[in-house]
Amino acid sequence: MEKRKQVVDKDLKQKILELSTLYEISKVVSTTLDLDKVAASTLRLLSESLGLNRGALTLLDDRTSELAIRAAYGMTMEEIRRGKYKVGEGVTGKVVKTGVPIIVPKIGSEPLFLDRTGSRKKLAKEDISFISVPIRLSGRVIGVLSVDRVFSEDVSFDKEIRFLSIVAGIFAQAVHIHHLVEAEKAELKEENLSLRTQLKGRYRFENIIGQSDRMQEVFKTVEQVSRSNATIMLRGESGTGKELIAQAVHYNSPRRDGPFIKLNCAALPETLLESELFGHEKGAFTGADKRKPGRFELASGGTLFLDEIGDIPPSFQVKLLRVLQEREFEHVGGIETISVDVRIIVATNRDLEKDVKEGRFREDLYYRLDVIPIFLPSLRERREDLPLLIEHFLERFNKENRKQVEITPELLTVLMEHPWPGNVRELENYIERLVVMAMGKRARVSDLPVYVTQGIPLLNNTSAEKDRLSCKETGLSSLKKIEKSKLEETLRECGWVQASAAKKLGITPRQIGYKIKKYGIRLET
C-alpha cells in the first residue's frame, strides 16, 4: 500500500512539474513572435525543469528538403551548424519520414544514431537516452523536437513522449506564426520597394514641371548637387515647391534607398521641437511614457528636410548648430551620445541675411546651412510654365475625381492674369476646386472664388471681354501658339530628339509625345 502511495505521489509531482513547465512555456510564447527566442527559452525550460541534458529543434527546409537544427540547448554554435540531415537519414531524418516518435534508450548501442553534431563525444553514450518526436503542422511533419536524458530503468518513456508531443504542438504553432510574420514582412518589403520605385520615378527631374529658363537653371543645379552630401538651403516664397525639390534631391542621390524625413520647424514650440529632432527618454518630461527616437535618428542613412528653418527660436539654434557640426546628440533626458549619418536640406521663405544682421538668426548657423543655396522662382517669375502646370493639375484632378472637365478660354485668361501670391500650391488648390465644383464638362469663371476675379479689368468690362476673347491672339489660342513655338524651338535645339527636348522642358517623354501629336508638329530627321 505504501509503495503504491509513493508511486502515486511521484506521478502527481511529475504532472505538477509538467504543468508548471507548460505554463512557463506558454508565457514565453505569449510575449514574443520571434521563433528563435521561443525555441531557445523552451529548450532551456525543458532542461532546467525536467532534468533533460540537451535539446534541439530541427526544422525541414522545403526548398532544399534538408533538415537543420534551428535552435538548441547544451550545444555550441559549431555543433549546431553540423546538425544537418536528409529526410530518412539517422534518427531525426527517420522521424520526419515516418511521422512516428523514436526512443533510443542507449545511443551507444543504436547504429541509426549518428551524433552528427559531435556534442556527446566526451560522454559515456551507454548512459544517454535520446527521445525524438515529430512536429506536425496541418497534418504534415515540418520538423523534430529531440532531447537527451540520463538513462534510467525507472523512466517512463511513454509519458515523456506524451509530454514532448504537447511541447511539439506548441512549437508547431510558433513555426506557423513565424511563417505568417515572415510572409507579411516579405509583402511589406516588396510593397515598400514598389513605393520607393514609384517615388524615384515621380521625383525624377524630368517629371518636375517647368520649362522656363529659371526652372531649368534650378534643375541643372539640383542635378549637380544631388550626387554630393553637401547641405542645401532652398530659398523662395511659400508654395514654390521647396519640398518637391528636396525630395528630388534625395531620390536622385546615393542616399535614395535611405529614409526621407521631414519636419516643419515653424509648427512646434521649442520644447517639442527639441524632442522631435533629438528624441527623448522615458520620463524625460510629463507625458513621455516611452523612449522615442528623434527625426535625426530616423533619417540616419538618408536625408533630413527641415522646412521653415528661419523660424526656429534663437535659444534652440545653438543646439542645432552643435548637431550639424558634430553629427551627434543626446536624447532629451538622456546621457548616451548618439551619432548619425544624415544629409541636411533646409528651406525658408525668410530673409535670413536680414535676420542675421538684426540678431534673430545666428551667423555661424547661417553659414553652416548656406553651403549650397538654391533660389526657387515665384510663379509670377515663370508665367510661361502656367499652361503646363494648369494642364498637369487638370489631368491629375480629373483622374482623381473621375471627371473630364475642360477650362474655357475666359477662365484660362483669368488664371493667366492672376498674381498667384500662393504660387504653385495656390494654383494646385484652385484647379482642384474647379474640377470638383464644375457642374458640367467645362469649368467657368463662376466656379472660382469671387476674390480671384476681382481687380481684373477684363472681367469688369463686358464689351471689352467679348472683343478680347474673340481675338485669336488672346486666351487659349495665344497660349497654344506660345507653347507650340517653344516646343518646336526646343526640339530643333535638341536635334529633334524627343527625350532630350522633354528633359530640357521639364516634362516627361510621354507628355512631349502627346504635345507633338496635339500640335501636329512634323519631326525633322
Regarding whether 484 and 513 lie in a shared domain, the answer is yes
Model pTM score: 0.59
Task: Return d(Cα 265, Cα 276) in angstroms, integer.
Answer: 10
Regarding whether 170 and 26 lie in a shared domain, the answer is yes
Regarding whether 399 and 352 lie in a shared domain, the answer is no
141-147 average pLDDT score: 92
Q: Which residues lie below 8 Å from residue 328, measured CB to CB, with a gap of 6+? A: 337, 338, 339, 340
Regarding whether 228 and 115 lie in a shared domain, the answer is no
Q: What pLDDT is attached to residue 289?
A: 82
Strand positions, DSSP E, 94-171: 102-104, 128-137, 140-150
Task: Return d(Cα 446, Cα 257) in angstroms, integer.
Answer: 46
The CATH number covering residue 399 comes to: 1.10.8.60
pLDDT at 330 over 50: yes
pLDDT at 472 over 50: no
**Rounded to the nearest 10 degrees, what angle do helices 2-31 and 157-202 cross at?**
0
450-470 average pLDDT score: 47
Beta bridge partners of 67: 60, 85
Regarding whether 313 and 231 lie in a shared domain, the answer is yes
Q: What pLDDT is attached to residue 464?
A: 39
Q: What pLDDT is attached to residue 373?
A: 95
Regarding whether 18 and 163 lie in a shared domain, the answer is yes
Regarding whether 483 and 454 lie in a shared domain, the answer is no
The CATH number covering residue 69 comes to: 3.30.450.40
Regarding whether 433 and 342 lie in a shared domain, the answer is no
The CATH number covering residue 483 comes to: 1.10.10.60
Q: Which of the listed residues 126, 149, 181 is the one where a domain comes to its end?
A: 181
pLDDT > 90 fraction of the chain, expressed in percent and rounded: 31
Q: What pLDDT is attached to residue 444?
A: 79
* Residue 299: closest CA among 268, 344, 252: 344
pLDDT at 374 over 80: yes
Regarding whether 100 and 146 lie in a shared domain, the answer is yes
Number of domains comprising the chain? 4
Task: Give 308's pLDDT tier (boundaries 50, 70, 90).
Answer: very high
Q: Is 439 a domain residue?
A: yes
Q: Is 189 a domain residue?
A: no
Regarding whether 331 and 229 lie in a shared domain, the answer is yes
Q: What pLDDT is attached to residue 473?
A: 42
Mean pLDDT of all residues belonging to the chain = 83
Q: What pLDDT is attached to residue 523?
A: 80
Q: Is 190 a domain residue?
A: no
* Residue 148: closest CA among 247, 44, 52: 52
Domain range enclosing 513: 478-525
Provide the phi-psi class of 422: left if phi over 0, else alpha when psi is between -120 and 50, else beta: alpha
Q: Is 188 a domain residue?
A: no
288-302 average pLDDT score: 90
Regarding whether 319 and 301 lie in a shared domain, the answer is yes
Task: Give 323's pLDDT tier (boundaries 50, 70, 90).
Answer: very high
Task: Give 501's pLDDT tier (boundaries 50, 70, 90).
Answer: confident
pLDDT at 434 over 50: yes
pLDDT at 454 over 70: no
Q: Is 405 a domain residue?
A: yes
Q: Is 191 a domain residue?
A: no
pLDDT at 28 over 80: yes
What CA–CA distances, in Å, run from 373 to 222, 236, 347, 356, 446?
A: 10, 10, 10, 16, 41
Task: Give 470's pLDDT tier (boundaries 50, 70, 90).
Answer: very low
Q: Which of the listed residues 348, 377, 406 is the one where a domain comes to its end?
A: 377
Q: Which of the listed residues 310, 344, 377 is the one where a domain comes to its end?
A: 377
Q: Is 186 a domain residue?
A: no
* Residue 59: closest CA among 39, 77, 33: 39
The more confident residue out of 393 and 15 is 393
Regarding whether 231 and 134 lie in a shared domain, the answer is no
Q: What pLDDT is attached to residue 443?
A: 84
Runs of H (alpha helix) within 240-338: 242-251, 270-278, 295-298, 314-326
Q: Is 198 a domain residue?
A: no
The CATH number covering residue 207 comes to: 3.40.50.300
Instruction: Provide the 8-state DSSP code for 389.
Output: H
* Residue 407: closest CA among 451, 352, 366, 444: 444
Compute the half-sphere exposure of residue 66: CA atoms within 13 Å on the CB side of its CA: 9
Q: What is the pLDDT of residues 172-221, one digit of tens each?
A: 998 888 888 888 888 887 776 666 655 555 556 656 788 888 888 998 89
pLDDT > 70 fraction of the chain, expressed in percent and rounded: 86
